[in-house]
């Protein structure tokens, strides 16, 4: 097991990465505070891992609650389903909620934990590649609004993140590959080891080479943990972790969260951000071609394949959380990493939308 501390001033915790962790009684139980534990998961994850997690918890009353699978269920209705369960079963703020699943479960259950009695103990147990390298780390919790993704939420840190790489064995191919959308992001943000692993091991990664995956997960979490430690509430640097996401969230919103997995939308969004960077002469167009090839080889989409109206697309982008004015804040690439830019050239943005979303 590899341990990665996230040294926050008020809520430091440790990310645990390894194999067989869901059956480690000392590990899981050590973070279950209070008398009651609620495991929130979904119908796909429960048959695979619910019993394993339940069996590691001793001396507590353990409940479970299933939420329907899919981004469309990261909603107010699902949030109150969790909160109603906590109220009806007399949970206290010193009891524990475990989020067992992918990014939807982690965001949703995390926001429920942040909201119930103004905050209860939370343990993140991510079971998808995307949630292991990104959404489970850093304390972002949220639900979606009809007009935009993650518009309702809170920063709320868990007491631990437990990443069992064995859960990746059971992921459907499409769900597994989706996780690489977020990993590519870290390469562009300047993590050279991630870039090298991705570029030199595409076939092995698609075959789920466990040592390579564990290294990618560790390096991704390490980079994110370092950034979050410096900027927990996203007042500056942490916004760089949204590379490609302004475009991706608009794609997801306009397709009702049904056509693309999050990592798929992010892969398209990254290429859109790179293309704008190249148009503005911030990077060489060769970088766009290089990552277009890598993303394609990883089995991820490089365009939407459907027409999305540019006017509606820009309107969705205007609702992005990073925006601080009429300009749209974009994370754009440079030779040395990425920068936040206030983009007022809507003709350029429209050109890129039409290029990738037609």
- Tell me the per-residue pLDDT of 310-321, one tens digit each, with 9 for 90 and over: 999 999 999 887
The predicted structure's pLDDT at residue 152:
95
Chosen domain end from 155, 170, 185: 170
Tell me, yes or no, whether 200 and 163 share the same domain.
no
Same domain, 187 and 242: yes
pLDDT at 106 over 80: yes
Q: State whether 143 and 195 are in the same domain.
A: no
Does one domain contain both 153 and 189?
no
162, 204: one domain = no
What average pLDDT does range 211-227 have in this prediction?
97
Specify the pLDDT at position 335. 86
Shared domain for 159 and 180, answered yes or no, is: no
Q: What is the DSSP letter of 117?
A: G
How much is the pTM? 0.95
In angstroms, the Cα distances linking 115 to 102, 234, 357 are 20, 20, 37
Mean pLDDT of 200-215: 97
pLDDT band, very low/low/confident/very high, at 112 (cuts 50, 70, 90): very high
Q: Residue 145 maps to which CATH number?
A: 3.40.50.1970
Looking at residues 325-341, what average pLDDT do you find?
90
Q: Are residues 62 and 149 in the same domain?
A: yes
- Both 67 and 137 in one domain: the answer is yes
Worst-scoring range by mean pLDDT, 12-21, 119-128, 334-343? Answer: 334-343
Q: What is the pLDDT of residue 1?
A: 94
Average predicted confidence (pLDDT) for the chain: 96
Whether 179 and 116 share a structural domain: no
Examine the domain organization and report whether 183 and 326 are in the same domain.
yes
- Tell which of 122, 144, 170 closes a domain: 170
Q: What is the mean pLDDT of residues 322-341?
A: 88
Looking at the chain, list the stretches that DSSP marks H as alpha helix, in order from N- to C-terminal side.
25-29, 51-56, 76-88, 103-115, 129-130, 173-178, 180-188, 192-200, 202-206, 210-230, 245-254, 262-279, 285-297, 310-318, 346-356
Residues 103 and 211 in one domain: no
Domain count, the chain: 2
Residue 323, number of CB atoms within 10 A of its CB: 15
Domain range for residue 257? 173-356
Say how many Å lie between the first and final Cα of the chain, rounded.
Answer: 46
Q: Which residues, listed in sequence order, are joined to residue 62 by a DSSP beta bridge?
A: 37
Whole-number pLDDT of residue 147: 86
Band the pLDDT of 336: cuts 50, 70, 90. Answer: confident
Same domain? 198 vs 216: yes
């Amino acid at each position: 097991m590899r341990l990665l501390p996230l040294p926050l001033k008020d809520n430091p915790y440790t990310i645990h990465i390894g194999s067989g962790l869901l059956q480690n009684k000392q590990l899981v139980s050590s973070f279950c505070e209070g008398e009651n534990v609620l495991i929130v998961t979904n119908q796909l994850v429960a048959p695979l891992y619910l019993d394993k997690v339940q069996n590691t918890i001793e001396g507590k009353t353990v409940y479970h609650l299933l939420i329907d699978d899919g981004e469309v269920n990261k909603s107010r209705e699902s949030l109150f389903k969790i909160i109603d369960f906590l109220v009806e079963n007399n949970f206290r703020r010193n009891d524990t909620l475990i989020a067992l699943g992918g990014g939807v479960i982690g965001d949703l259950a995390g926001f429920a934990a942040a909201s119930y009695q103004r905050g209860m103990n939370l343990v993140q147990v991510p079971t998808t590649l995307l949630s292991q390298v990104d959404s489970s780390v850093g304390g972002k919790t949220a639900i979606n609004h009809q007009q935009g993704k993650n518009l309702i939420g809170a920063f709320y840190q868990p007491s631990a993140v437990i990443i069992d790489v064995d859960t990746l064995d059971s992921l459907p191919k499409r769900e597994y590959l989706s996780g690489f959308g977020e990993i590519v992001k870290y390469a562009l943000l300047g993590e050279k080891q991630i870039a090298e692993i991705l570029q030199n091991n595409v076939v092995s990664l698609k075959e789920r080479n466990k040592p390579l995956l564990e290294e990618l997960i560790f390096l991704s979490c390490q980079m994110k943990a370092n950034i979050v430690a410096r900027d927990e509430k996203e007042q500056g640097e942490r916004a760089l972790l949204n590379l490609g996401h302004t475009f991706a969230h608009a794609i997801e919103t306009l397709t009702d969260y049904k056509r693309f997995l999050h990592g798929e939308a992010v892969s398209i969004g990254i290429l859109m951000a790179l293309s704008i960077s190249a148009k503005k002469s911030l990077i060489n167009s060769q970088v766009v071609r290089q990552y277009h090839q890598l993303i394609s080889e990883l089995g991820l989409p490089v365009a939407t394949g459907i027409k999305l109206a540019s006017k509606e697309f820009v309107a969705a982008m205007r609702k992005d959380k990073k925006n601080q004015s009429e300009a749209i804040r974009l994370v754009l690439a440079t030779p040395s990493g990425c920068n936040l830019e206030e983009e007022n050239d809507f003709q350029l943005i429209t050109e890129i939308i039409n290029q990738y979303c037609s």
